[in-house]
Structure 1
Amino acid sequence: MSGEAKLDILSRIYRAGAKPPSGRAHPPAAAAHPHAELVEQFAAYTAEYRARVHGCTEAELPGTIVSLLAGERAILPPGLPQMWVQSGLHTLDSGQSHHELSAFGAVVTGCAVAIAETGTVVLDHGAGQGRRALTLIPDHHICVVCESQVVGSLPQGVAQLGAAVRAGRPLTMISGPSATSDIELSRVEGVHGPRRLDIVLLLSTGQLAFKLLLALEKGS
């Protein structure tokens, strides 16, 4: 069963207000690996899906985003921290139509949770993440993931999405750029969403060794 199917089943259980047979919810088991290893695993698996992964500190984040935008006109969701995007080439989402959204080259968002075992980013479309159209229509998605948002497994990720599900917000699971294959298995990117996905890992100073590892891998 795919991760998307599991999340769909669990989401329906949340909406129905169902409980486990014991009548008591059991929290997912904590990850057995150090958190730094989970962050590295998430980065490695995300890169396998052809996403570009970047590590930076909070002070470096605005410059990193400006570099990734490379002059593209970007649209931003309400609630995104102002210090993240300091370039003038951006517009705040105010309910633009799908046609109007197609005029933007990029979107910058945060996320709700990131899952190490699948290299997946989950958006619950709360503050700083925007509506679904915002993250599906522009061709370039820059998603900022705080290292504290990385969890080991899908059940751990689902446990953090309960509030969004109960509020009726949609969940979007992103594993690499949008891609599909035709009957001859020819890969086509960008059919159902952005063709380019940049994951920016916002790291504490304690994770600078991981940042260096990323830099070395890019240079190899």
Structure 2
Amino acid sequence: MSARDEILARVRAATADVTTPVGARANNRPTGHEVSPGRTRTLDLFAENVADYRAEVLRVPAGEVAATVAEVLRARGLGSVVVPTGLDTGWRTALAEVSTVVTEGEAGSAAELDRVDAVVTACAVGIARTGTIVLDHGPDQGRRELSLVPDTHVCVIRADQVVHDVPEALTRLGAPPHRGRPLTWVSGPSATSDIELERVEGVHGPRTLVVVIAGAIP
């Protein structure tokens, strides 16, 4: 008996007592969606899980986003920042008061991006259950390289962009205007561990992630 035949024989033996037709079982499968615990709890869970990944979380009224992102750069001494072409003009104006603003078109290569201290973007969706931010690289997020090379990523997410779980996020991402766009899923700063479990940050992306939740009052 070949290894394949042996594996299949074991599968048949393990499922021999299953009498329910496959189609009937499919009708009873869970969809993956959970009952939403409410907007406040969803936002709290999102902030908690993002912070658990060692990212910094700031929750501010929508009208304070520009001042907040500028203060993040000023407080960290970040002298240059790259911004997507479609980023909110008010945010760009505030950033220009504390840092040298480089537009997406001016940073055409990875080497040029590597000389920039930070990047500020919006995002497409946030997932509370996993603390994940999803970028679909629309005009206010820029090309994928933009959010991977600079050492600090400041990401602004509106409160209404936060969903409870992954299935809900996929439903939203599968609809216009997100459908068909490339996706980058971010769960905290870039980090990896060697065989001795020594954590190293900033290997595959930004070393520092700051998430600004706009419209969520602390």
Same fold (TM over 0.5): yes
Q: 4+ residue stretches of structure 1 with deviation over 6 A?
A: none
In structure 1, stretches of 5+ residues that fail to align are 1-21, 212-220
Q: Deviations over 1:124-147 (max 9, x none)?
A: 111201111100000000000100
Distance 2:110 2:36 in 1: 44
Contact preservation (8 Å) 2:123, 2:155? yes
Structure 2: gaps (5+ residues): 1-25
Match in the other structure for 1:195: 207
Identity of aligned residues (%): 44
Provide the C-alpha distance between the structure 2 equivalents of 1:170 and 1:96, rounded to a whole number of angstroms: 19
Which of 122, 139, 142 aligns to 1:127? It is 139
Q: What is the count of residue pairs matched by the alignment?
A: 181
Cα deviation code 1:4-28 (max 9, x no counterpart): xxxxxxxxxxxxxxxxxx9xxxx97
User: Please, what TM-score do these two structures have when normalized by structure 2?
Assistant: 0.78
Q: Larger C-alpha radius of gyration, 1 or 2? A: 2
* 1:82, distance to aligned residue in structure 2 (A): 0.8
1:1-220 alignment, distance < 5 Å: 29=33, 31-70=35-74, 71-72=77-78, 73-85=80-92, 86-88=94-96, 89-94=100-105, 96-162=108-174, 163=176, 166-167=179-180, 169-203=181-215, 207-208=216-217, 211=218
Query: Aligned partner of 1:160: which letter?
Result: R
Deviation at 1:63, TM superposition (A): 1.1
Report deviation, 1:55.
0.9
Q: CA deviation at 1:30?
A: 6.8
**AA of the residue aligned to 2:172:** Q
Tell me the SS of whatever aligns to 1:87. Answer: helix
Say whether the 8 Å CA contact 1:151–1:157 is kept in structure 2.
Answer: yes
CA RMSD of aligned residues (A): 2.0
Secondary structure at 1:114's aligned position in 2?
Answer: strand
